[in-house]
A and B are shown apart, each in its own frame.
Chain A
């Protein structure tokens, strides 16, 4: 009988947690309102309110053990939110790169720019396809680009410590195609010169990328002439003139990709069809927005899985910490609870009171954890070797409101589990034994 009851509670718990995780915030708000209504308007609700009041008023005396719940949950939420913020920042950086009215053309079947090769003939054909916007002179707005990599010394590393940076050789229209990218220091490179402009992220990561400095790409010396900011993945790149870059890397007239501006977002299909219909070409076309978003999928998933795994294991620890504290709290208050029961309070208000107390502690813990994660990690810069690129991608942690909400959900879920069993014990405590105890 007792076993069946426990099994039932466990199944209920799993169901509640499942629903809870998938609940949107407004549904939670509705629940809260409903619950507050029950507390205020029904007799049982008011009873629960007064029992909770008594419990909370004695929290002070149990400060030490109550803080275990708060800090335990704060730890879980802090770590979880920080790890998720890492994945969030990473995928945000990539997914806000590009737009839906610019398209990228690569050789068919290429997973990313770096593995794509387009020969001169193809490029000429692509530039003339239908759907491409034209500038005032009637020239198609397109930039043939070449993506390669360079080894440069890393800031804060040993003298021999070199990192990989993605180098992009771009055509004249590159800036028109990427209105986000703006020169913030110095000037742009001049066509035909060994000049580079560096993204602000790349500048932060590698040594010697100030305007006026010279850097060596292989045996050749290049001059950094400017810094640009785009607020997305391009920030981690270094740009130069496509012909000069191709020369340095001995790529002849082949390029890795062509970026084009579409007449409008709806022109993608026209453009795609035009290229697909040309027997001389075997290429893949996608909006740049889509292309970069897809690049982030794998790694973002890995980061999220890691965050959830670590968070789950920590949550188990925190749940048992909360159980411990709340069992102790119930034990300390066994006489008081039994007295209430003896007077005629029913089980429900007692359960509700213990649950509310735990959830309150959990809420505080969740808020502290989220706040700490936000204070410490929001804007924190990290970098990784992104898939599909040849260099390090710098990104900043993003603690978004949605992540904070997710953290709070975890906190309350931990509080719920940690409070339920002690609450049930309190409610099922045989009145007489409890009164005799202590």
Chain B
């Protein structure tokens, strides 16, 4: 630590150059922070302790194929099943058909399957007691400046009511507060009563069917077993099911959406390769113009290894300094990006994982970048360097 001021002073020997280089490094790690947040949001979707307890049962045929409502009672009898809820895609839009608002028609106990989504006791009660009541995600509420107690019109792009109109009216009775990143989605959606939906929708459109079941299991370790038992219920019927843990189901969706790992990996590869060259060039210049100073340090009795370590420390410090600023900036910008995307992106704030990976990368890049200049500094011959050779 006592050498810190030496290293610091050397780093800012040429202020312009160091600051310009720092900005480049900052830009690179800003990008890293943001892309890593994207990657993690893809990776971690559906992965949580609560999520592991939940199974999703849908039609084996395809996700748009409905299942009979009676199946729920059978599933409830499967050993290991704690509770069963179900949900239907409603597909609402607000004011303009393009303003899609993800709306689901759910069973009364649906929200109980998601203890990590907070709903106040009053709201819960009001929801149960109001046929046309809906629970609205907090972000969505904010976005459209809705208030609890307000009546809002929603258009369904699929389902007409008995009278043929696709304009539905609902009463906001409560707010969904997701308390975990893995269920952030619930901040952006609307839940309505499946019962009301099934009653009010035009005959022939739903016929008492449900889109999928959400099953909670007693023991996480038995999840796979329970899933197989559920699928066995409908084997060889005309409505075979496919049951997956929530994590597996979400991961499969994310994977189909985009190979985000590849995209992020390629971009960061290009960025860091460029950064290596750029910072490497700066460090080369820095050591080249300091040749005589390094020779003096050696003259004073600094060992070869000591000089090597100092140059390495300088280059690591440079990258870490820029990198920490960059990831810090990313942490500051990410909430804005999430808000600006109108709910399309739900990026987690930069977490310990990203910081860890980021700092690891900074140190690694710093060491690689500093390696050649540090080697040169170590091999520097005092007599030649002092004579300006």
Chain A positions near chain B (C-beta within 8 angstroms): 64-65, 67-68, 71-72, 74-76, 78-79, 82-83, 109-111, 114-115, 117, 148-151, 157, 160-164, 167, 217-219, 248-250, 282, 302, 310, 313-314, 316-318, 320-321, 323-325, 327-328, 382-385, 390, 392
Instruction: Determine which of B238, B255, B266 lies in contact with A82 in the assembled complex, contact meaning CB atoms within 8 Å.
Output: B266
Contact with A along B1-33 (1 / 0, CB 8 A): 000000000000000110011011111101100
Chain A residues, Cβ within 8 Å of B93: 111
Q: Which residue of B lies closest to A324 (CB)?
A: B20
- Assess A109 versus B31: contact at CB under 8 Å? Given A316-B23, A320-B21, A324-B282: no
CB distance from B267 to the nearest CB of A (A): 6
19 other contacts beyond A75-B271, A392-B256, with CB at 8 A cut-off? A64-B284, A109-B155, A110-B158, A111-B100, A148-B61, A149-B61, A160-B248, A167-B62, A219-B60, A249-B65, A310-B31, A310-B267, A314-B27, A317-B31, A323-B20, A324-B20, A324-B24, A324-B281, A327-B16
* Cβ–Cβ < 8 Å partners of B78 in chain A: none
Specify the chain A residue showing the minimal Cβ separation from B284: A64
Residues in chain B near residue A320, CB distance under 8 A: 20-21, 23-24, 27
Q: Which residues of B contact A167 (CB under 8 A)?
A: 62
B146 contacts chain A at the CB level, 8 A cutoff: no
Q: Is B364 an interface residue (CB 8 A)?
A: no
Interface residue? B343 (CB, 8 A)? no
Binds A, one of B187-195, B272-280, B348-356: B272-280
B169 interface residue (CB < 8 Å to A) = no
A68/B277 contact (C-beta < 8 A), A217-B61, A218-B240 known:
yes
**Cβ-neighbour of A317 out of B28, B100, B258 (below 8 A):** B28
Chain B contacts for A149, CB-based, 8 A: 61-65
A209 to chain B, nearest CB (A): 16
Q: List 7 A-B contacts (CB under 8 A).
A: A75-B270, A115-B158, A150-B62, A317-B278, A324-B17, A382-B259, A384-B256
Residues of B within 8 A of A164 (CB): 62-63, 256
Within the complex, the shortest CB–CB distance from B56 to chain A, in Å, comes to: 13
B58 → A minimal CB distance (Å) = 9
Q: Is B205 an interface residue (CB 8 A)?
A: yes
Query: B236 near A: Cβ within 8 Å?
Result: yes
Judging by beta carbons under 8 Å apart, are A318 and B274 in contact? yes
Say yes or no for B166: interface residue by CB 8 A criterion: yes
Chain B 241-269 against A: per-residue CB contact (8 Å), 1 yes, 0 no?
A: 01000001000110111110000001100
Q: Taking the complex as formed, is B91 at the interface, i.e. its CB lies under 8 A from any CB of chain A?
A: yes
Within 8 Å by CB of B270, from A78, A383, A392, lies A78
A413 to chain B, nearest CB (A): 16
> What's the count of A-B pairs with C-beta under 8 Å?
156
Interface size on B, residues (CB 8 A): 59
| Max chain B C-beta neighbours (<10 A), residue from A115, A117, A317, A382 | A317
Q: Smallest Cβ distance from B181 to chain A, in angstroms?
A: 21
Provide the residues of chain A in CB contact with B34, threshold 8 Å: 313
For B20, B23, B93, which residue has the most chain A Cβ atoms within 10 angstroms?
Answer: B20
Q: Does B305 contact A (CB under 8 A)?
A: no
* Interchain CA distance A78-B34 in the complex, whole Å: 19
User: Distance (Å) between the CB of A73 and the closest chain B CB?
Assistant: 9
B17 with A67: CB separation less than 8 A: no
Q: Which of B24, B60, B270 contacts A218 (CB 8 A)?
A: B60
Q: Is B237 an interface residue, CB under 8 A from the partner?
A: yes
Task: Say yes or no: B238 contacts A219, CB within 8 Å.
Answer: yes
In the complex, what residues of B have CB within 8 A of residue A71's CB?
A: 273-274, 277
The 10 closest A-B pairs by CB, nearest first: A317-B27, A149-B62, A75-B274, A218-B61, A324-B20, A320-B23, A317-B24, A321-B278, A320-B24, A115-B158
- Distance between Cα atoms of A172 and B281 in the complex (Å): 66
Asked if B270 and A148 sit within 8 Å, CB to CB, the answer is: no
Give bound CA distance, A160 to B245, whole Å. Answer: 12
B97 within 8 A of A: yes
Q: Are B237 and A219 in contact (CB under 8 A)?
A: yes
**B57 neighbours in A (Cβ, 8 Å):** none
A218 — which chain B residues lie within 8 A by C-beta? Answer: 59-61, 65, 238, 240
For B30, B59, B65, B93, the residue with the greatest tally of chain A CB atoms inside 10 Å of its CB is B65
B62 to chain A, nearest CB (A): 4
Q: Is the CB of B267 within 8 A of A79?
A: yes
Most buried by B among A74, A117, A310, A390: A310
Q: Measured between C-beta atoms, what is the minimum distance from B330 to chain A in Å?
A: 10
- Against A, the Cβ 8 Å flags (1 = close, 0 = not) of B73-105 are 000000000000000000101000110100000
Check: B225 CB closer than 8 A to any chain A CB.
no
Interface centre among A68, A74, A157, A324, by most chain B C-beta atoms within 10 angstroms, is A324
> Do the beta carbons of A313 and B240 come within 8 Å of each other?
no
Point out the residues of chain A lying under 8 angstroms from B281, CB to CB: 64-65, 68, 324-325
CA distance A35 to B146 in the complex (A): 58
Which A residue's beta carbon lies closest to that of B22? Answer: A320
Cβ A151 vs Cβ B277 within 8 A: no
CB nearest neighbor in B for A72? B274
User: Do the beta carbons of B271 and A79 come within 8 Å of each other?
Assistant: yes
Q: What residues of A have a CB within 8 angstroms of the CB of B242 in the complex? A: 151, 162
Which residues of chain B are near A327, meaning CB under 8 Å? 16-17, 20
Given A162-B252, A324-B17: A148 and B62 interface contact (C-beta under 8 Å): yes
Is B157's beta carbon under 8 Å from chain A?
yes
Chain B 155-204 interface residues, beta-carbon cutoff 8 Å to A: 155, 157-158, 164, 166
Q: Is the CB of A110 within 8 A of B238?
A: no
